Amino acid sequence: MSNAKDTFITDNRITVDDDSSSGVCQHSMGSIKRIFRALPDAILCVDYSQRIIMLNPAMEDILGYREDELLGQQHFYLYGSKEEYEATFNERLRLPEEEAKKPYVVKLKKKDGTFFSAEVTSSVVKGRDGDTIFFLHLMRDITERKRLEDQLRELEQKYRTVADFAYDWECWRLPDGGFKFVSPSCERITGYTASQFMSYPGLLRDIIVPEDRDLWDRYQENLAVNMKQEALQFRILRRDGDIRWVEHVCQPVIGKNHELLGYRTSNRDITKRKLNENELRQALFKIKEYQEQLEAESVYLREEMKRANRHADIIGGSNAIQYVFFKIEQIAANDTSVLLLGETGTGKELIARAIHTTGTRSDRPLIIINCATLPANLIESELFGHEKGSFTSAHSKQIGRFELADKGTIFLDEIGELPLALQSKLLRVLQEGEFERLGGTKTIKVDVRVIAATNRDLEEEVKKGTFRKDLWYRLNVFPITAPPLRDRAEDIALLARYFTDRFAKKQRKTINYIPSHIIEQLEGYSWPGNVRELENVIERAVINTTGDKLNMVDDLCKSTKQVEKKFQSMEAMERDYIFQVLEATNWKVSGKNSASEILGLKRSTLRAKIDKLNITKL
């Protein structure tokens, strides 16, 4: 180079020898020299001819040379070869100015002949006239860092090799949230490719279902604070729209200087496991429900058995009671709702029991509830049950009577007393077979046959607005009227004998004879209280009897005359009943909910009876 300068830095000055001039340019450098020597980073200065003109103690420590051993040596002396140096130097010269300022890595040779990796940052020192004085190279020994990086790359390669063939979806996530690696299994689990996650790391949170994102955010916050392995289960929306359960395990990776290097994560598809867990949980819940129901049924049935033993059969042979038997046989095998009508004490509960025991649900319980005996604020809880805490005294969950009656029969006595507010809920059970417990949100499905009874004129109650018209229509599909005792006087002797035997046995007495005048007296009474009143009269008589002949103490009012009633023949009653059913079904003879289905007759048989009995539409 024609303008080459010989430059040396002594204790106090920079001296530049210019071949083209006889003068010597001297610059004071004492202060700069002191700064160079004090700097902790290694510094090497070379002149325009690439000869070493200065190095500080930090550089001496790295290279193993003293400064005086290197001064005047060519810069390539520290490289593996002159060619290697020139290749690096020429490459740096071609870089833009801004790029040339960035650090670069080279291999340098120490005095002992070993090589090390150095990170170099180069700059140019110029004089006042703009000419280059020397080049300054700041160096750092990054041998250990390179070793760790190489080791990390090797480990990553091994990890990638294993992860690429792993069944689970493996990831290496950087501290800034980006992914350094995503295994191909992600596509099997999510439907998205590894490259899609690499290019857009936020995709992972995006595919988490909205209901689980807050859970994911809290998990990430805890992970950043605790810096220990954490696990989380959440749902994702696959690319094809399917919902999958994922078990996510994340392990922070910490360097030897306690710096966060990243996160090693593993994601497993646990959808089948969650489905099995849910099925098991539902099965256990069902078992618990069945257990509670069986326990409740057991308690209820024990109480019912005590009550049921009071009336084993319906006693009587009169035409009125025989017609009731006829209607029981007609309806028992069907699941149609039945409405029992009649005065108080006529034995409507016994008719309900007979329908149940004769029907197809006889192996399931008959649940009885009297709507008139319960306070209005407790009827809903008794019928439909309640959840714990649904009201002040609801200290535990209670199963309602409709749940107890599932697959069986429920008898709602005194249905006319049911509050208007609850009638819509009962109508829903009759129509849809479903309801919710008081204080609950879960819809409960039941299969229940309903038998209702009342001593009221429900049609009149409908007109008054105290009973729902649609509920009355639903209940009145198949009405049966329990005849009052005054209309079945021929049954009084049988009933008197039955009650006498039952109460005598209970009181350990032997009563073989009921005088005829007592029978006459019983048959001549109008019995406003019906069979229940007769039962009470006979019980008092048995208590007051000391011998084997019944002694009646009640003075039945002689002036009370039995209400006369004109009985119809079986044919006339059959005609009236078939007419009522035809009217109720809008004269639909066959098909679903038709008259033939309710009557249990073939269509041809029903048409024959209509013709025979001369039944015509009004």
Show Cβ contacts of residue 109 under 8 Å, excluding neighbours closer than 6 positions.
78, 79, 80, 115
User: Which residue reads 């006042």 in tokens?
Assistant: 128
> CB–CB of 420/466 below 8 Å?
yes
pLDDT in the model for residue 4: 41
pLDDT in the model for residue 581: 86
User: Which residues, given as ranges, of the chain have pLDDT below 70?
Assistant: 1-32, 158-166, 297, 299-313, 389-395, 557-567, 618
Report residue 187 as tokens: 């596509």
How many Å apart are CA 525 and CA 70, to the nearest integer? 142
Segments of the chain assigned to CATH 3.40.50.300: 310-483
| Residue-wise pLDDT tens digits, 325-368 | 889 888 888 888 999 999 988 989 999 999 998 888 888 889 99
How many Å apart are CA 353 and CA 313, to the nearest integer? 9
Segments of the chain assigned to CATH 1.10.10: 570-612
Report residue 532 as tokens: 């229940």
Task: Give Dmax (Cα) for the chain.
Answer: 168
pLDDT in the model for residue 74: 92
> CB–CB of 467/417 below 8 Å?
no
> CB–CB of 530/495 below 8 Å?
no
> CB–CB of 327/338 below 8 Å?
no
> CB–CB of 200/178 below 8 Å?
no
Cα Rg of the chain, angstroms: 52
How many Å apart are CA 36 and CA 54, to the nearest integer? 9
How many Å apart are CA 481 and CA 483, to the nearest integer? 6
- 0.75 exceeded by the pTM? no
Residue type, 177: G
> CB–CB of 597/477 below 8 Å?
no
Q: Which fold has domain 310-483?
A: Rossmann fold (3.40.50)
List, in sequence order, every beta strand (DSSP E) within 255-394.
260-269, 338-341, 366-370
How many Å apart are CA 519 and CA 537, to the nearest integer? 12
pLDDT in the model for residue 69: 92
How many Å apart are CA 231 and CA 222, to the nearest integer? 11
Q: Which helix (H) or strand (E) holds 52?
A: strand 52-55
pLDDT in the model for residue 394: 63
Query: Each residue of 247-281: b (16+ CB within 10 Å) or e?
Result: bbebebeeeeeeeeebbbbbbbbebeebeeeeeee
Number of alpha helices (DSSP H) and beta strands (DSSP E) in the chain:
24, 20
For the segment(s) 570-612, the CATH number from 3.90.660, 1.10.10, 3.30.70, 2.30.42 is: 1.10.10
pLDDT in the model for residue 566: 55
Alpha-carbon torsion, ordered 475, 477, 478, 484, to 10 deg: 50
How many Å apart are CA 222 and CA 230, to the nearest integer? 9
Q: How many CB atoms lie within 10 A of CB 529?
A: 17
> CB–CB of 475/511 below 8 Å?
no
Please, is 460 exposed, middle or buried when counting C-beta atoms within 10 Å of its C-beta (0-12, 13-18, 19+)?
exposed
Give the DSSP letter of residue 513: B
Strands 179-182 and 115-126: unpaired
Note the CATH number of domain 5-141. Answer: 3.30.450.20
CA dist list (Å): 170 to 46, 212, 241, 372, 497: 50, 21, 22, 68, 88
Q: Give which of 368, 358, 356, 365 is closest to 406, Cα–Cα.
A: 365
Domain 147-269: give its CATH architecture: 2-Layer Sandwich (3.30)
Segments of the chain assigned to CATH 3.30.450.20: 5-141, 147-269
Show Cβ contacts of residue 17 under 8 Å, excluding neighbours closer than 6 positions.
5, 6, 7, 24
